Amino acid sequence: MARLNVSPRLTGRLIAWVMKALALTWRWRLDDRGQWLARHMPGPPILWVVWHNRIGMAPQMYWKWFRRQPVAVLTSASKDGSILAETCRHFTMEAARGSSSRRGAAALRECLTFLKNGRDVCITPDGPRGPRYELQPGIVRLASHTGAPLLPLHLRPARAWRLKSWDGFLIPWPFTRIDVILDPPCYVSKTTDPQILESERLQLQTRMKAGADDYP
């Protein structure tokens, strides 16, 4: 049987339609622990931090609460990254293309440009290849260089399908509840000292793991 060769653009569009249809049935519950929405939106750019397996819920969450603040999502340079970028486009989210393994330097420059132009940047710090829930150092270095605050974002579906992928990608069931937890923002020291940056990476990783309802 011939293998279908569907373009990332079409695939992303179909995924966006499915997500929008599913999201109409989801029940959202917001826990804004730092009162971030009340005092910040819209405001200076921030770095969102969300685990890779929960990124599928982020576009609809963004559209519901954050759409006044322009945002770009860091996606990989792979075909999967192209699909995610196209999906995000249907929620008015832009894409910075690259990862730690491909186009890393170019992606960093794109992120810096987005932040300089007043856009938030959303990063999955354990992507694109994992290990799951292991925070890579790039986002800490970016926060240190730019001074942008880090906003840990936790998305917890009450019920979800889990794909057999490296990250255990989550797709919430129809009519389920999704808890959206915004931690108070944190700031990284402006330094190039590797020991300080590693300490702050571990602190952020601990906060993010605490927000993952299936960890350990």
pLDDT tens track for 67-108: 888 888 887 777 777 887 788 788 778 877 665 555 567 777
Query: Is residue 173 assigned to a domain?
Result: yes
- Domain limits for position 37: 8-210
What are the CA-CA distances from residue 33 to residues 38, 187, 212 (Å)?
11, 16, 16
Structural domain total, the chain: 1
Answer whether residue 215 is part of any domain: no
Please report whether residue 205 resides in a domain.
yes
Q: Is residue 124 part of a domain?
A: yes
The answer to whether position 3 is within a domain reads no
pLDDT tens digits, one per residue of 177-192: 999 999 999 999 999 9
Average pLDDT over the chain, rounded to whole? 86
* Angle between helix 8-23 and helix 58-65 axes, rounded to 10 deg: 60
> Where is 108: in which H helix or E strand?
helix 104-116
Whether 94 maps to a domain, the answer reads: yes
pLDDT digits (tens, 9 = 90+) for 186-213: 999 999 999 999 999 999 999 999 988 7
The answer to whether 25 touches 172, Cβ cutoff 8 Å, is no
At residue 214, what is the residue type? D
pLDDT over threshold 80, residue 38 = no
pLDDT of amino acid 155? 96
- CA 119-183-185 angle, to 5 degrees, is 50
Quote the pLDDT of residue 92: 78
| Phi-psi sector, 175: left (phi>0), alpha (psi -120 to 50), beta | left
| Contact of 53 with 157, CB cutoff 8 Å | no
Whole-model pTM? Answer: 0.87
In a domain, 216, yes or no: no
